[in-house]
Structure formats: C-alpha cells, structure tokens
Structure 1
Amino acid sequence: MYKLLTGLVMLLTNLGMTAYAQHGKEIIYVGTYSVRGSEGIYVYEFDRMTGAMNPLQSVSNAKSPSFLALHPSTKYLYSVNEAAETGPSKAGAVSAYRVDGTTGKLTFLNSQSTLGNGPCYVSIDQTGKTAFVANYGGGSMAVLPINLDGNLGAATDSVQQTGRGPDAKRQEKPHIHSATVSPDNRFVYVADLGTDKLHIYEIDAKNSTVKPAQTPYVTVKPGSGPRHLAFHPNGKFAYLAEELISSVAVFSRNAKTGALTLIRDGVKTLPADFSEQNTSADIHIDPTGKFLYQSNRGRHALAIFAIGDNGDLTAVGDEPTRGKTPRNFMIDPKGEFVFVANQDSDTITIFKRNQKTGKLTYTGQSISVPAPVCVIMAGSR
C-alpha cells in the first residue's frame, strides 16, 4: 500500500509539474562568446511577475555559441559555433540541442559544418525542416536539413557571394551577416555587409535548397553595411539595420515575388549631437507592429521609432541600455519586456515596455553573463 501511495503521489506531482511547465514557465536562452569565463549557452526561467531571470543551466560549448534559433516546435535549439575551425577552409559549425519539454534544459544532439568560417547567424524555416546559416567570414550562406529527431543533416545547399564595398576595412569582401526567413516562409533574405546588398532566395523547404528569386537582390546606400532584417507583422514592410552608418533602410515588400522596394534609406538612429564612434547591431519590431527598435553599440542605447500606416518611421527617442555594447536584444512575445545583451559589460538588462508609447523603463533587474550575444525566449511551457 505504501508503494502504491508513493507511486500515486509521484504521478500527481509529475502531472502537476507538467501542467505548470505547459502553462506558466517561460524559458530564456542566452548565446555567448567564449571569453571571460563563459561556459557556452545559458538557460534561465523568466518570472513575469517579478521580472527576474532565474538560472537553470549552463551548457558547455567553448566555440563561441553566439547566435541561437529555436525550432518552431520549441523542441530543439540551434547555435552557431562561431569560433569553430575545421578542415582546409577552417569552416565553422552549427549545433543542435534537444529541449526538455518540462524544464527547458538542453541536451546536445549533433553538429555540422557550415561550409564557411565565422558563422554568426542561424534561422529555421517555419516547417522546421531547414536551417539557414550566415557565414560572416566566409561570405556565404549554408542550407542544412533538419531531421525529424532535431538532428542536423549535412548541408544540402550553399550560396557564395562576391564583391566588395567602399569601406576598405569592413567591406574588403562579402560578409554575410544574417539570413532571415519571410513571414510566408517562401523566401530567405541574406544581408551582405561587405557589398551593401540584400539577396533574396526562394526556399524549397522540402528539399532544403534555395534559388535566386525573380528579383535576386536589392542594393542600399554604399558603405552602409547591411546587418539584420526585421519584417513587419503584416508582411508588407521590411526594415534593415545598416551597421556601418547607424541607420535603417525601409522597404515595401511584394508578397508574390518577394521583391523589396526602397521607401527610405539611411534613416538615422543617433541623436544629431552624438559624435562618438558607433555601429548598429540588432533590429526588432514589437508584436503589434507599432514600434521599431535598433541597438547602437557606441551610444549604448536602443533607438525607438514609431511605425506609420505607410511603413515609414518617426523617431521617438532612445533608451540607454545600462551596459556596454548592446548586441542582440529581444522583445518578449507579449510585448511587455525587452531584454538587452550588453556584450562588453557582461550583463543582460531588463526593461518594461510601454505598449502605447513604445518607450522603455529600466526595471532595475540585471543579470551577469559573460559576453552575451543573443537572447531568445521559448513561450509558456
């Protein structure tokens, strides 16, 4: 009888834990550079009531697992290994991890070559069958299939860019900085910082291959340095962070062909009186599509813009990030909080977001993480 009661208690406890995990637990994953004692990928549980990030796990990876992406099922997580160098080409790697459905903790599955060095960005198509990896150093994008068990297959396709831009130090060759999947899952947009181009490819999700779209690319201001792209929730507009000139390019988007038409280029993200050195990094739009945010790494702030019905931007102001070199940042899926990875101060700072004005208020919550680069969240578990 004792064993029966004990077993029943354990069953009820597990059921309760599962119910809690499915309905109340939000998990945050942080990718880092392998410096200053970083262990690799860090896992936290976010307490929405208190605004705190509580540590759950650190996953050992000494190859700078800097940028992360979640599988659409949230059962798997993928990281680029930016410092990996294998083979004659010194290619980087991308790793797959299984996500525990109850705790959110990670278990390593496998790694594959990215066919180019310096991988800095990974994205997953909405079917969960294909991963796209941007190789900054190699100037290329690798396309890898994802198996049903979450493991990565060897690359089935890749594209190599050529050319250069006017900035002799930063644009001496192609530098692919991101590969962003369109909201309709038909196209992937590849930002080349080195040549000031945004390439557009049609996705064959079944075969994990790509081909140039009808309009294969769009060119932006010379020397601007395309970095990251964000789509408006309505799919009609796209916004490009221009790293080298600290600005935003605004596009309208043809949903049928995937083509982008430039509305405005070089929208400044810095105050007129700011004269120090700066480069922009990440760009995101809130879930309602009313506000756009872009991180500036010299000003150590997030620029804030209101988005008009025509897709154009109006400056709202900026918010200091309470840390140095804000790299990636995340707006939580409910639009209530913003998490900023301050790479050079080894902190993630948390802000409350005013959903009417778009402005941010520092919550006073800051956690210590060595060289944080990327912050992503898995919704309520």
Structure 2
Amino acid sequence: MAQSGSREIMYVGTYSVRSSEGIYVFSFDRQTGTMQPVQSVSNTKSPSFLALHPSGQFLYSVNEAADAGPTGAVSSYQVDRATGKLTYVNSQSSLGKGPCHISIDQTGKTAFVSNYGGGSLAVLPIKADGTLGAPTDSVQNAGTGPDPKRQEKAHVHSATIAPDNRFVYVADLGTDKLHIFAPDLKAGTVKPAQTPFVTVKPGSGPRHFTFHPNGRYAYLVEEMISSVAVFSRDAKTGALTLIQDGIPTLPQGFSGNNTSADIHIDPSGKFLYQSNRGANTLAIFSIGADGKLTKVADQPVEGKTPRNFLIDPKGDFVFVANQDTDNITIFRRDRQTGKMTYTGQSVSVPAPVCVIMARQ
C-alpha cells in the first residue's frame, strides 16, 4: 500500500456535477485523523463506484453517466505505489446503461460490473498489466416488482464476491431477487449456481450485499423499505437461507422519505452498519453468534444523503460520503461498543459516492 509514515491513501468516486473533476485521491493521517488532497483525476462520465485490484497496483471505476454512449463504460488506472497517484490506462464497454458497481475477484483476473439502467451483469477480464479486456460474458435479467416507478424492470445494483471466491451474488432492485452465480475465472464466464437465486420481501429493493468475516452469514440492504435482511450461507453450494428480514434501519419516530444505501461490517465481525439517505444516519447493529442483528444506535452523519461509507481496515475510523452536501465526514469508532464519535473533520468533495482505502 502506498503510504508515508502514518499516511494512507484513499480514493473517492463522484458524480460529474457541481464542478466535480472525477476521481479524487487523498492521504489520510491516522494519528491526526485528517485527510489531505493528493490528486484529482479528470473523468466527466460520473466515475461513481471504485474498486482496487488485489495487488494494489490498479484501480477501476464505473462510468455511470447516461451520456457515456449507448452503454456505460468501465475505466482502469495504474496506481503509483509511492504516492498513490493514478494514471489512466484504458476503458471498455459495460454492455449496459448506468453501470453503478464494480467488484474484482480475489485473483485479480476478473471484474464484475452491475448495470443498473440496463438490468444486466457484465464480466470483463483483467490482463496482467491491469488493462481491461472486452467483456467475455453478460447476464440480462428480466422481471418486475410491485413498485411501478422503481421496479418497472430489472435493475442490477451490485455483484459481490464470496470470501471463498467461488460464488458471485447479484442484487436486483427491480425484481427483489438476489441471484447466485458460479464464475469460471479462467473462461471469464458465469453460470447459475445450484440454487440460482433467493427472493426477498416484495417491494424491498435489494441493493448492496456483504459477508460476515466468517463467511457463514450475509447481509442485504433492502433499499426501498429501509431495512436489512440476514442470511445464513451454505459454503459448499453458495445457497442462502433467510433468517431475518425487514429489520428496520431508521431511527425510531422518523417519518420522512428515506432510502438505504450501503452496508459494511467491522473487521472483528461484531457490528454492522447501514446508511440511510433521508434520515441521514448510519444504523448500527450488533451481530450475534447466530448472525442475527440487534439495533445498537443511530449515528447522524453530519451531512446529507450518505451513499457509501468506509470502515477503515483497522476498525478505528469511519468515513461517510455525503452526496448532497459535497463532503466526507470522519468519525472515530469504539471497537467495544461499535458506536461512533464525529471528529469534527469534514473534507470537501463534490457529490461523493464511493470512498475506499488502499490495502495495507
């Protein structure tokens, strides 16, 4: 990982509005809890969601903007390991409109891209030099949900790779399904797993998905009803069993409009966090030995419309990307209680969507 002393490198993806330049690079000083700008990388196509290559040598962004062409695109960048700075490498089609999420398998050879507007998943090979190859496979979802405005068709929102690298879980907001695929990483293809999908509450709107560090449990953002679903997982087949559903993430008494967005578990596996856009909070849950959740607290994010957020790899800090107040707010986290304290530090970034930290 690029670092100098206690400084660590962070990357922020944005929407191309309010004079955003594209991708922003920061250094983070763990001792002082502050972020300092390093570089801004020009990209006018809304490089919203980012992913780092396992080697730390490359970074990838989706280009979500509707005017990016008949389909969206994905871009690769080389990382200067000494400074963290990025250099553009190449781009490829995502084979669908509105790509909103990208993940890289643990071997670093394959990228999985979710096209929200197109309702599809694209599989792209990654070459040894970090460049993206043309897509080698795609899956077009079909179907609807009960909400005619948000669920008029399939809307693939994320593709999350299992800890064992054997399965990919694809959340479809439009059809209330979580699809399970078995990838062939050598061929760059995917096929439905033995249990091809699991269905959640109608109208819930699956969005982002995460695994417990032990791999036995998994958690799904139900965006449209501001809740979280909990699953147990069969490691052999990849199948999911719903064990908790519709767990509210909103503060008690909140009655305004809200959609949930991102979800993460702390490194110890003791606490889960989910962002709420509208309530402008992170819901904090403790995780039991059986994987089930218990509400701990609601943390105001000191901004509006928190999309993605980052729990740093050591579990000490939380960084929240507040899209509509153009800032990233920094919190210290208590490892024992899971609760957060605002540090007073806020970094200006236009329309931040995704924040990630280079691996140590």
Bin of the TM-score, shorter chain as denominator length: over 0.9
Quote the residue 2:121 is aligned against.
Answer: 141
- Does 2:184 align with 1:218? no
Query: Which digits, 9 at most, give the CA deviation of each residue in 1:27-77, with x for residues without a partner?
Result: 000000000000000000000000000100000000000000000001000
Query: Which digits, 9 at most, give the CA deviation of each residue in 1:204-259, with x for residues without a partner?
Result: 11121110000000000000000000100000000000000000000000000000
Aligned pairs for 1:62-211 within 5 A: 62-83=44-65, 85=67, 90-211=70-191
Q: Give yes or no for contact 1:336–1:353 (8 Å, CA) kept in 2.
A: yes
Q: State the SS of the aligned residue for 2:37.
A: strand
In the alignment, the residues of structure 1 paired with residue 332 and residue 256 of structure 2 have an alpha-carbon distance, to the nearest angstrom, of 28
Q: Give yes or no for contact 2:6–2:29 (8 Å, CA) kept in 1.
A: no
Q: State the SS of the aligned residue for 1:276.
A: coil
Greater Cα radius of gyration, structure 1 or 2 = 1
- Does 2:243 align with 1:243? no
Q: Give yes or no for contact 2:249–2:274 (8 Å, CA) kept in 1.
A: yes
Quote the residue 1:38 is aligned against.
Answer: 20
In the alignment, the residues of structure 2 paired with residue 173 and residue 51 of structure 1 have an alpha-carbon distance, to the nearest angstrom, of 43
Say which of 235, 254, 279 aligns to 1:299: 279
Q: What one-letter code is carried by the residue in structure 2 that aligns with 1:76?
A: F
Quote the residue 1:329 is aligned against.
Answer: 309
Q: Give yes or no for contact 2:45–2:67 (8 Å, CA) kept in 1.
A: no
Q: Give yes or no for contact 2:3–2:9 (8 Å, CA) kept in 1.
A: no
Q: Give yes or no for contact 1:91–1:113 (8 Å, CA) kept in 2.
A: yes
Aligned pairs for 1:224-239 within 5 A: 224-239=204-219
Deviation (angstroms), 1:22: 7.0
In the alignment, the residues of structure 2 paired with residue 106 and residue 335 of structure 1 have an alpha-carbon distance, to the nearest angstrom, of 26
Q: What one-letter code is carried by the residue in structure 2 that aligns with 1:61?
A: N
Say which of 30, 33, 52 aligns to 2:34: 52
Deviation (angstroms), 1:379: 3.0
Distance verdict in 2 for CA 1:23–1:53, change over 3 Å? closer
In the alignment, the residues of structure 1 paired with residue 44 and residue 3 of structure 2 have an alpha-carbon distance, to the nearest angstrom, of 30
Q: What one-letter code is carried by the residue in structure 1 that aligns with 2:54?
A: P
Deviation (angstroms), 1:191: 0.2
Q: State the SS of the aligned residue for 1:303.
A: strand
Identity value in percent: 74
CA RMSD of aligned residues (A): 1.2
Structure 1 residue runs without a partner (length 5+): 1-17
In the alignment, the residues of structure 2 paired with residue 33 and residue 91 of structure 1 have an alpha-carbon distance, to the nearest angstrom, of 17
In the alignment, the residues of structure 1 paired with residue 76 and residue 273 of structure 2 have an alpha-carbon distance, to the nearest angstrom, of 29
Q: State the SS of the aligned residue for 1:91.
A: coil
Query: Which digits, 9 at most, give the CA deviation of each residue in 1:307-348, with x for residues without a partner?
Result: 000000000011000000000000000000000000000000
Q: Give yes or no for contact 2:50–2:61 (8 Å, CA) kept in 1.
A: yes
Say which of 249, 252, 255 aligns to 1:272: 252
Q: What one-letter code is carried by the residue in structure 2 that aligns with 1:27?
A: I
In the alignment, the residues of structure 1 paired with residue 180 and residue 79 of structure 2 have an alpha-carbon distance, to the nearest angstrom, of 31
In the alignment, the residues of structure 2 paired with residue 22 and residue 255 of structure 1 have an alpha-carbon distance, to the nearest angstrom, of 39
- Does 2:329 align with 1:349? yes
Q: Give yes or no for contact 1:85–1:117 (8 Å, CA) kept in 2.
A: no
TM-score normalised by L of structure 2: 0.98
In the alignment, the residues of structure 2 paired with residue 23 and residue 378 of structure 1 have an alpha-carbon distance, to the nearest angstrom, of 14
Q: State the SS of the aligned residue for 1:244.
A: helix
Q: Give yes or no for contact 2:332–2:341 (8 Å, CA) kept in 1.
A: yes
In the alignment, the residues of structure 1 paired with residue 13 and residue 230 of structure 2 have an alpha-carbon distance, to the nearest angstrom, of 28
Structure 2 residue runs without a partner (length 5+): none
In the alignment, the residues of structure 1 paired with residue 108 and residue 359 of structure 2 have an alpha-carbon distance, to the nearest angstrom, of 17
Quote the residue 1:312 is aligned against.
Answer: 292
In the alignment, the residues of structure 2 paired with residue 297 and residue 311 of structure 1 have an alpha-carbon distance, to the nearest angstrom, of 25
Q: What one-letter code is carried by the residue in structure 1 that aligns with 2:60?
A: Y
In the alignment, the residues of structure 1 paired with residue 274 and residue 62 of structure 2 have an alpha-carbon distance, to the nearest angstrom, of 22
Deviation (angstroms), 1:270: 1.1
Q: Give yes or no for contact 2:7–2:30 (8 Å, CA) kept in 1.
A: no
Deviation (angstroms), 1:86: 5.6
In the alignment, the residues of structure 2 paired with residue 141 and residue 372 of structure 1 have an alpha-carbon distance, to the nearest angstrom, of 24
Deviation (angstroms), 1:23: 6.2
Deviation (angstroms), 1:24: 4.2
Q: What one-letter code is carried by the residue in structure 1 that aligns with 2:131?
A: N
